[in-house]
Structure 1
Amino acid sequence: MEILNQTSFQFAPLVGRVHFPAYSFTCIIKGTFDLVPGGTAVLSDEQLYPTGDEPYPDDEEQRTVRYESDFAWYKPHADLLLAGTCYTPGTKPLPACRVTFRVGGAQSTLVVFGDRHWHKVTGTISSPRPFTAMELRYENSFGGPGHEKNPIGKGIAETRLPDGSSAVPLPNIEYPGQLITSPDSRPEPAGYAPLHRMWQQRMARLGTFDHNWQQQRWPWFPVDFNWEYCNAAPGAMQVSGYLEGDEALFFENLHPGITRYQSRLPGLRVRCFLNRHRGGESQHLQFDEVKMHLDTLWVDMDAEKLVLVWRGVTDIQDEQYEEIEHVFIVSESLSETPRPVAEWQDDFQAALAAEEAAFADESPQETGAAGDIEEAVRKAEATLHKALRAAGIEPVDELPEPSREDREAEARMLKEYGLEEILAGKALTRDTVVRRMAAKESFAEEVFSDLDLSGLDLRGGDFRGAFFLNVNLKNVLFDGAILREAHLENTDLSGASLRNVDATEADFTGACLSGADLGEARLEDSIFEQSALDRACLENAEAGNGIFTRADLSGADLKNGCFVGADFSRSLLDEADFTGASLREASVEGAAGRNLCMRDCDLTELRASEGCSFVDADFSGVTGEQSTWEGAVLTGADFSAADMMGADFSSARLERANFLAADMKQARFTGADLTSAICRTMNLFEAGFEKANLTGTDFSASNLYGAEFLGARMDGTVWHAANLKMTKLAGKQG
């Protein structure tokens, strides 16, 4: 599928099952705008990509949602949402203040109070403490522990005050018609932020997941599923139908400098077309429009940002949506009559032809390119010759050989500056190196050529920028030396000691470092491409952004090293030991290694896909949030006690893998093979196992709340004491 986007907006597809019993294809188009006080919102320079739920920056437990996921299959109404702060007029301290959020004809007003609480003895409400700013979050609305509509709010549970006494703090944010008047008051949680999908307001719309559903509708939603579940806005801010796109906006007491802030939507109509095959494997392509609805408006009032999301749904043949060849996205002004589909089809064909022509232009034939370069060189030479003649200089095609007098003068100059060895064509000798090392002279940027320096003591030497050409450095002592930006390509450093060396940005391409000791070395941005590092020691080395592609690290000791952003692509890692090392944002794509040990490593955002193979590897205790293992061979690997929220194991081979007590919230195992894997006591909250092979997999006592098992093979799967609530397998525990 190819995307031809003629707008500045961002596009994302989403496959689902909106219309029973068909598959659905949801087109999501997201636009980001800057609010203009007193004017119309304008396109932002940075267009935000469709994203999942985004919590508040200080909400590490992700108890609330600041921005609701864009990936909703369908919304029957428009959501009007806002993140912001109540600012008192003129920032004058007040005990209470009103805020208003209005979009077109939809409006919601809140009353915001300063901090207050119940007087336990008198049963009265304390006077609100004056405030100038109050963030509009559900932590400040009615609720509390055990309250199904807002378990993070206030108004139910006691808390201890600074003076040591206890009291029940009251909510700061309320609806004008539902003000708290007694301890028995139970108002709706007031706000403009998205309601969490696990709260009662939305959970009540999920429908009935019972035996009839399993027999008749699974894996589609139940017949009584209410699609309003996908709407996240509080009821008053859900628009019946959808937005037009040119509505007026009004914000009262939501900006520190503008009490009554007015703006307007940009007045755009977004249209989306699919060019797809109809009728099975037919070669005929049909150009169809997907009706788009503006169903989400979100405002970040403190940043004066506006996000609009258009969404459209169409049926497809299967979840692979292979019949769709192209997606064509355009926009129009609402002040103009919509253009006919046929005209947009002509524009699509023109855009497609232009793209194909541009691609062809970027790939010229080699002979043509060479001819163009030669012609350019000839023209440049002609221009240069013309300029030289104009300056009274006769150009020559080739420089003459230097005279004997010139060569003798050059020799005298080199001797004067101590460079006669270079003139003689001789590199430094072994004895010269020994002598100069004893005198503590620097070798910075010098050339070492055709030398045998094996076994020498070069500790603490300054070799920054030096060139080592065909030099034998076997068993050399380089401890504490400076090798910054040194060139050691194809050098034999087997058995050498380079402890605590500074080799930042050094080049070891193709070098032999078998059994070498680089413990505690500084190797940031160094290159070890195709190097032999088997049995080498890199313990506690600092090798951030180092390049180890195609290197042999068999049996190497890399414990507690820093390899942040390093590239180990296609390297050999048999029995390599990375225990306690940091490989944040590193890559091991295409690498292979049996019995690899990465125990207790930091693998956050590690890239381990593209056919990497780590059979029987030890990843126990690792931290690997958002790491990628797509298609990896991890048969028999040990991930016990790993913390890997959001990790992607799609299509990975995980037969007999051990995930005992691992925390893998929202991890993806789509199409993975977990035959006979040990997945006991895991946290797999909202994990995805679509089309996975779970034959003989043991999920005993694991938390699988909200996990997805669509199309998974589950022969002999063990669910004893597993939490399967909010899954389509609820009731299988035991």
Structure 2
Amino acid sequence: MKVIKPQRLGVLTRSWEYRGDFYFTVSILAFFPFESPSFLLPEVRLWQLLAEELGRDLAFDEVMPKPSPELLVTGSACPAGGTPQPVCAVRVQLGSVDKRLYVVGDRVWDFGGPSKPVPFTRMPITWSNAFGGPGFAQNPLGKGIAKIQDAQGKEIHPLPNVENPKTLLKKPEDRPAPEGFGAYDITWPQRADKFGTYDKRWLEERFPGFADDADLSLFNVAPKDQRFEGELRGDEPFRVENMHPDHPVQTSRLPGVRGRCFITQKTKDGDVFREIPTRLDTVHLLPSAGRGVVIFRGTTTLSEDDAHDVAHLVVAAETLGAPARSIDHYREVLAGRLDKKRGALLALKDSDLLPPEAPPEVPLPDAKGSDMDDLSVTKNLQERNQRKRLEKELEKSRAQMVAMGLDPDKHVPKAPEPEKVPSLEELPDYLEAADAQVADARKQADDAMAKAKADLKETCAQAGLDYEKTLADTQKGGGGPPKFSAEKEMENLRLSREHMKAAGIAIPVDPKAPSDEELAQRLRTIEQQLQHAYWQFAHVYPEADLPDEKAAAALREEVIDAHRSGKGLGGRDLTGVDLTGLNLSGIDLEHAFLERARLAGANLSGARLSGAVLVRADLTGANLEGAELRAANLGRANLTGAKLTGGINLAGATLMYADLSGAVFDGATLHRVDLFEAKFQGASFAKVEAVMLNFVQVDLSGVNFAGAQLIKCSFLESQLDDVDFSGATMTQSVFVEARGERTRWRNAKAENLRMVKESAFPGADFLGASLEGSNLRGTNLEGAEMSGANFNRADLSECNLKKAKLYRATGIGALLVRADLTGANLTSANLMQAILQKAKLAGASFKGANLFRADLARSVGDKATSFEDALVDQVRHVAAPGGGAV
């Protein structure tokens, strides 16, 4: 079920059974401030406040319909003025509810009666401070029923702090009803007496639903004097007295909205989008925080006990008294949010699901959901990135025009002026317009470039010049290592001073200017920064020019001589060097610049290449056995058939866009290597060690990962036909929309593996694999071999396991809800306490299987389904609708 909601509404759902029908309840939570009740606050702020006010152990709402609307209040008594007082009267009034409580400081029974109350400034109005105590069914949490020992071990008999002014405690034997504003526990008789009868008939026919004779008013959790007479409108005024340290009297009103709720329900006749009517059945006030919550509740019947037939849920709020928005409006909102291109952005547009928003009447510290609300105002990152990209493209076009000898102002459009910063609400429309503007500017630039090339071609023809050569010359340069040199700049400065001195020109002295040493250090820092940027991003920069024939020959000889003499070339600029076929084993090239280097067939075994730039290098068939390549940049390099074995270390390296076809990385260390859009056809990664590798939209067909350590690795939208993960350790790795046929996972250790979002591995071989605690929900594993596999506590719900082989597999406590096990072989499998609710079991074999305490409720089999010699003690069985149950 996909939930569509605004950020300023909360939503809770619950599926439940009653008298043979399946129900689905939706609770819509609107959080509002007393000082500006029409301004709804972000849901995230609600849960933060409730964690403070209620603590971790108390449920805020049970998500069940309430026959009578009711009021709940969480807070403390706070004597006016903040001065400690022994007694404080509190009051809450809303609609027909007008309730007063008498709150007293701590007291104990003395010989002459109650002791003097201890003055207080704040006393929580909780059941632990009301009358009760151990053995008192109506409030076992309270005080006053019996004596206790204090912190010093002294026996005392405390009195309750919270009382009804009409039934004040007068002697230790009194047994008044406990008083408070909060919810009764479901196990207390005020509610438990309405549970109904849970006997053998219920267990056989109605489990796990409510008993047929249950009185659903048990979900009215508040005391009876906090239930309203008739329905609530939603804009009623209210008054709270002495429950805020600074405001003895708080007055406000409910927010004046109505809840709307819609679902897309899957039926036999197709999807149906329909409304679930809601009513306001709960008001929960938190006076000490000056905040409140109204809960709108809607309930409908469904055909599935777990709401599996609800595909989408849409919740909204509208202004009370304003015309209701049509169901078509909400249908369009849903369609927009489901759009793959624009859905994420449209999720920011709350106005489609909320009343028109007026600013709060006073500043509110919790008006914003998070710092994201400030992003569009303070940083405007989206707009700046769009503009920066456009300006870069236009500047590139202008540079090309200048190189062609043309006036760029006549041919290249200017970037549009920046517009006003959009709000998050305006952002979807704004970005759509910005994309259109960028596309239009790009088209203008492309058209201008095409015209300029045509003009250049005509000019070359008239002048008798070679057009292709002239065009290539204009497009040269822009790539390669940075040319800036701090040493050269300081040398130029020295020569300039000498020329001035020789010419008799006085050298000006600026007392604020840095010293030569300071200047040299600054220039060295700039040089290092430029080189670092090149090391990081050379693969996305324009490619470097190759050296001319003479320079290339000199570079080659320099490398040969250095290797022969054992001299290191760390940090050297060897761009475009041709070292094809050379034996350079053990050479030191750390941090060297080797962009477009020709190293095909070279022997680089044991070479030191950490931090080197090998962008666009040709390493076809090169031997890199045992080399060090930590943090090297091999982006766009050609490593076809290269040998990277012998424990080679590539941790932190970049292999973006690299061609790794047929390369052998067996035993390599690949921690956090960047493999974005690399080519892997026929590559081998057997026994590699890798943490947090990301394979994004790549074809890994035929790749060998046998015995690899792939910890927390991700395979996103990738193809994995015939991939071998046999014996691999894949703890906490993730497959998202990954697909592959005939993948092999034999004896793999894949605990906590995740396969999500329509991943599919039909015919996969998991023989003897460990998938304990993994989540394979919804994965297509048709025909998979899983004999002897361990999937204890794993989630295989909704998996396609048709004709799968699970002979002697172990799935203790596994989830197989709605799994399709048609024709599957589960002979001798251990499925103790496994949950197979609504599973398809036609033709499945459970011969000799252990199904002790397994849950087969509403699972469906046929005459061919076999439980011969299976252990079926205490199996839960509930007939499926329409028959066919096992």
* TM-score range relative to shorter protein: 0.5 to 0.7
Query: 2: CA distance between counterparts of 1:487 and 1:274?
Result: 49
Decide whether the 8 Å contact of 2:103 with 2:162 is kept in 1: yes
Q: Is 1:689 matched with 2:837?
A: yes
Q: 2:606 aligns with which of 457, 461, 468?
A: 457
In the superposition, relative to structure 1, how do residues 127 and 330 fare at CA in structure 2: closer, same or farther (>3 Å)? same
> Match of 2:68?
77
> Match of 1:348?
328
Can you list the C-alpha shifts for 1:651-694, whole angstroms capped at 9, x where unaligned?
Answer: 464956856765x7xx67245659665243x5x8xx78345659
**Letter of the 1:518 counterpart:** A
Query: 1: CA distance between counterparts of 2:676 and 2:160?
Result: 56
Offset at 1:698? Answer: 3.9
Decide whether the 8 Å contact of 1:536 with 1:556 is kept in 2: yes
Q: 2:687 aligns with which of 508, 514, 537?
A: 537
Query: 1: CA distance between counterparts of 2:655 and 2:676?
Result: 5
**Letter of the 1:295 counterpart:** D
> Match of 2:617?
468
Offset at 1:385? Answer: 12
**Letter of the 2:857 counterpart:** F
Secondary structure in 1 matching 2:756: coil
Offset at 1:265? Answer: 1.2
Decide whether the 8 Å contact of 2:601 with 2:620 is kept in 1: yes
Offset at 1:35? Answer: 0.8
> Match of 2:60?
67
> Match of 1:35?
33
Q: Is 1:521 matched with 2:671?
A: yes
> Match of 2:410?
none
Query: 1: CA distance between counterparts of 2:341 and 2:716?
Result: 33
In the superposition, relative to structure 1, how do residues 616 and 477 fare at CA in structure 2: closer, same or farther (>3 Å)? closer
Matches within 5 A, 1:138-287: 165=153, 174-176=162-164, 202-213=191-202, 221-233=210-222, 235-239=224-228, 241-271=230-260
Decide whether the 8 Å contact of 1:523 with 1:546 is kept in 2: no
> Match of 1:502?
651
Q: 1:630 aligns with which of 778, 784, 788?
A: 778
So what's the TM-score if we normalise by structure 1? 0.66
Offset at 1:245? Answer: 0.8
**Letter of the 1:348 counterpart:** D
Offset at 1:173? Answer: 6.7
Secondary structure in 1 matching 2:569: helix
**Letter of the 2:280 counterpart:** L
Name the structure with the higher helix share: 2
Query: 2: CA distance between counterparts of 1:500 and 1:124?
Result: 82
Query: 2: CA distance between counterparts of 1:672 and 1:55?
Result: 41
In the superposition, relative to structure 1, how do residues 398 and 124 fare at CA in structure 2: closer, same or farther (>3 Å)? farther
In the alignment, structure 1 segments of 5+ residues that lack a partner are 363-371, 389-393, 730-734
Higher mean C-alpha deviation, range 475-484 or range 173-182: 173-182
In the superposition, relative to structure 1, how do residues 160 and 349 fare at CA in structure 2: closer, same or farther (>3 Å)? closer
Secondary structure in 2 matching 1:432: helix
Larger radius of gyration: 2
**Letter of the 2:253 counterpart:** R
Matches within 5 A, 1:691-730: 691=839, 698=850, 700=852, 709-710=857-858, 718=871, 720=873
**Letter of the 2:626 counterpart:** L
Secondary structure in 2 matching 1:348: helix
Higher RCO by CA contacts (8 Å cutoff, separation 6 or greater): 1
Query: 2: CA distance between counterparts of 1:196 and 1:695?
Result: 46
Q: 1:422 aligns with which of 532, 547, 565?
A: 547
Q: 2:569 aligns with which of 424, 433, 436?
A: 436
In the superposition, relative to structure 1, how do residues 359 and 497 fare at CA in structure 2: closer, same or farther (>3 Å)? same
Matches within 5 A, 1:571-582: 571=720, 574-577=724-727, 579=729, 581-582=731-732
In the alignment, structure 2 segments of 5+ residues that lack a partner are 343-436, 461-466, 486-543, 571-586, 881-886
Decide whether the 8 Å contact of 1:98 with 1:111 is kept in 2: yes
> Match of 1:105?
96
**Letter of the 2:569 counterpart:** R
Cα RMSD for the two superposed structures: 6.3
Can you list the C-alpha shifts for 1:415-460, whole angstroms capped at 9, x where unaligned?
Answer: x999985344969869838563546552357233462234422335
Decide whether the 8 Å contact of 1:465 with 1:486 is kept in 2: yes
Decide whether the 8 Å contact of 1:615 with 1:637 is kept in 2: no
Secondary structure in 2 matching 1:68: coil
Query: 1: CA distance between counterparts of 2:209 and 2:75?
Result: 37
Offset at 1:267? Answer: 1.4
Offset at 1:462? Answer: 1.6
In the superposition, relative to structure 1, how do residues 268 and 519 fare at CA in structure 2: closer, same or farther (>3 Å)? same
Secondary structure in 1 matching 2:30: strand
Can you list the C-alpha shifts for 1:579-619, whole angstroms capped at 9, x where unaligned?
Answer: 58444x7648546754455658455x763753346654667
**Number of residue pairs aligned between Structure 1 and Structure 2:** 666
Offset at 1:525? Answer: 7.8
Offset at 1:244? Answer: 1.8
Q: Percent identity?
A: 18
Decide whether the 8 Å contact of 2:738 with 2:760 is kept in 1: yes
Decide whether the 8 Å contact of 1:497 with 1:518 is kept in 2: yes
**Letter of the 2:778 counterpart:** E
Query: 2: CA distance between counterparts of 1:349 and 1:455?
Result: 66
In the superposition, relative to structure 1, how do residues 25 and 623 fare at CA in structure 2: closer, same or farther (>3 Å)? closer
Query: 1: CA distance between counterparts of 2:679 and 2:158?
Result: 63
Matches within 5 A, 1:256-405: 256-271=245-260, 290-299=276-285, 305-315=291-301, 332-335=318-321, 348=328
In the superposition, relative to structure 1, how do residues 160 and 24 fare at CA in structure 2: closer, same or farther (>3 Å)? closer
Query: 2: CA distance between counterparts of 1:215 and 1:636?
Result: 34
**Letter of the 2:691 counterpart:** E
In the superposition, relative to structure 1, how do residues 56 and 443 fare at CA in structure 2: closer, same or farther (>3 Å)? same
> Match of 1:44?
41
So what's the TM-score if we normalise by structure 2? 0.57
Can you list the C-alpha shifts for 1:72-130, whole angstroms capped at 9, x where unaligned?
Answer: 3x3323354455566665555667766555543335566667788999xx999998877
Decide whether the 8 Å contact of 1:251 with 1:261 is kept in 2: yes
In the superposition, relative to structure 1, how do residues 443 and 183 fare at CA in structure 2: closer, same or farther (>3 Å)? farther
In the superposition, relative to structure 1, how do residues 162 and 323 fare at CA in structure 2: closer, same or farther (>3 Å)? closer
Can you list the C-alpha shifts for 1:498-528, whole angstroms capped at 9, x where unaligned?
Answer: 6553325542765245452333734378666
Secondary structure in 1 matching 2:610: coil
> Match of 1:391?
none
Query: 2: CA distance between counterparts of 1:598 and 1:185?
Result: 68
Secondary structure in 1 matching 2:217: helix
In the superposition, relative to structure 1, how do residues 259 and 348 fare at CA in structure 2: closer, same or farther (>3 Å)? same
Decide whether the 8 Å contact of 1:588 with 1:612 is kept in 2: no
